[in-house]
């Protein structure tokens, strides 16, 4: 079957070269492209390509080629397709801003007389400081037998679309093997960390489309049960560690909470059995409202806890909070 598709593709290409192109109404493209669409990062857009009105026994193949801006749209997904009984639809090449589909009438009869339709969806992945106009186009080639010779026909359509400047809250950004989620105009949280990483550095900022986002949070369950994790270094902008962010990270041995940390979530370091040293460089954890329930339950009984504060009153308040939230009373506390 694949060999047959290849042969038909070659025949179609040859036909286009030999006979040129001519516009036929029955191969017109009707699509869902909306020139007034304003697309935001994280949203989706779907294109409908309909090649209609085949007369019985006329066409024997179609080649659909959709061209798009891959700096704006991600990989295409074929949501649905419809072609006449006895036809076969082959997925062609995808990537580098182009996707193709090849449909062949393997019966050479087209018994139903119906056309070909495709519904292709793209996720909007591009980011822009300002509104950006981009073009999406579709070209459909067909070939049919006439007097023992292949005759080709072709039609195309295109539309200018607009990517809105800025990045909506909820947009997921990938940096290396980590995922970040936009939580404010210029703020992001580490959303999902690489599960195979042993040593992680949370950056101060990440950049996309010329926009700089401060990494201010570690999302809930971002490192959940990553048993390979050994060390983590937080960027200076991190203010919040979410619920269960490091729960079950049994290999985690060195953690330092920097000066901006103001909130540690419920079970954030729950069952971190290998956590030998905890350095506290923030003075904002003096009350249990800042540290969630069982945040440090399951950490080693003789864990070293270094609290870097100048005032004894603050030191005592932080020590009390940590013990109430799971740090053992037998832990070795030191004021630095």
- The per-residue pLDDT for 50 is 78
Q: Which of 142, 163, 184 is the last residue of a domain?
A: 163
Give φ, ψ of 53 to 5 degrees.
60, 55
The size of the chain, in residues, is: 336
Residue 242 and residue 279 in one domain = yes
- 53: domain CATH number is 2.60.40.680
* Neighbouring C-beta atoms of residue 319, cutoff 10 Å: 20
Residue 202 and residue 158 in one domain = no
In the chain, the number of structural domains is 2
Q: Which of 115, 130, 163 is the last residue of a domain?
A: 163
Residue 124 and residue 268 in one domain = no
Residue 116 and residue 134 in one domain = yes
Sheet with strand 332-335: strands edge to edge: 199-201, 231-233, 254-257, 277-280, 304-307, 332-335
- 326: domain CATH number is 3.80.10.10
- The per-residue pLDDT for 139 is 86
H/E element, 132:
strand 132-146
Residue 69 and residue 181 in one domain = no
Residue (of 49, 18, 44) closest to 31 by Cα position: 49
Residue 63 and residue 118 in one domain = yes
User: pLDDT below 50 — which residues of the chain?
Assistant: 1-27, 31, 54-57
- The per-residue pLDDT for 1 is 38
Contact (CB, 8 A) for 235 and 212: no
Residue 212 and residue 125 in one domain = no
Residue 278 and residue 331 in one domain = yes
Residue 191 and residue 314 in one domain = yes
DSSP 80-130: EEE--TTEEEEEEEEETTEEEEEEEETTSS-TT---EEEEEEEEB----SS
Residue (of 262, 261, 200) closest to 229 by Cα position: 200
Cα(10)–Cα(39) distance, integer angstroms: 38
| Enclosing domain of residue 151 | 2-163
Contact (CB, 8 A) for 42 and 100: no
CA distances from 255 to 102, 269, 303 (A): 55, 10, 11
Give φ, ψ of 87 to 5 degrees.
-90, 160
Residue 159 and residue 181 in one domain = no
Residue 136 and residue 218 in one domain = no
Contact (CB, 8 A) for 216 and 239: yes
* Neighbouring C-beta atoms of residue 29, cutoff 10 Å: 18
Residue 184 and residue 255 in one domain = yes
The burial class, CB within 10 Å (0-12 / 13-18 / 19+), for 244 is: buried
């Amino acid at each position: 079957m694949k060999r047959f598709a290849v042969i038909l593709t070659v025949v179609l290409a040859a036909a286009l070269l030999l006979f040129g192109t001519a516009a036929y109404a029955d191969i017109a493209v009707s699509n869902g492209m909306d020139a007034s669409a304003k697309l935001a990062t994280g949203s989706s857009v779907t294109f409908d390509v309909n090649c209609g009105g085949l007369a019985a026994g006329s066409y024997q193949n179609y080649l659909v080629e959709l061209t798009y801006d891959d700096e704006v749209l991600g990989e295409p997904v074929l949501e649905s397709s419809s072609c006449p009984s006895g036809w076969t639809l082959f997925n062609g090449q995808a990537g580098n801003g182009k996707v193709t589909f090849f449909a062949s009438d393997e019966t050479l009869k087209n018994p139903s007389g119906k056309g070909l339709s495709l519904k292709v969806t793209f996720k909007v992945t591009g980011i822009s400081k300002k509104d950006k106009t981009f073009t999406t186009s579709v070209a459909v080639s067909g070939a049919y037998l006439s007097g023992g010779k292949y005759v080709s026909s072709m039609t195309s359509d295109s539309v200018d679309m607009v990517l809105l400047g800025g990045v909506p809250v909820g947009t997921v950004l990938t940096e290396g093997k980590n995922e970040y989620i936009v939580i404010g105009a210029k703020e992001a949280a580490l959303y999902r960390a690489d599960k195979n990483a042993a040593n992680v550095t949370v950056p101060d900022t990440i950049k996309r489309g010329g926009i700089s986002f401060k990494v201010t949070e570690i999302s809930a369950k971002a490192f959940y049960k990553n048993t390979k994790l050994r060390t983590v270094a937080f960027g200076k902008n991190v203010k919040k560690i979410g619920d269960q962010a490091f729960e079950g990270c049994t290999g985690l041995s060195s953690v330092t909470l920097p000066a901006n940390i103001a909130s540690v979530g419920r079970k954030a370091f729950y069952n971190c059995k290998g956590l030998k040293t905890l350095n506290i460089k923030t003075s904002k954890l003096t009350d249990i409202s800042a540290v969630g329930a069982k945040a440090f339950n399951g950490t080693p009984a003789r864990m070293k806890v270094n609290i870097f504060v100048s005032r004894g009153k603050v030191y005592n308040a932080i020590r009390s909070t940590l013990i109430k939230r799971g740090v053992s009373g037998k832990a070795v506390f030191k004021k630095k």
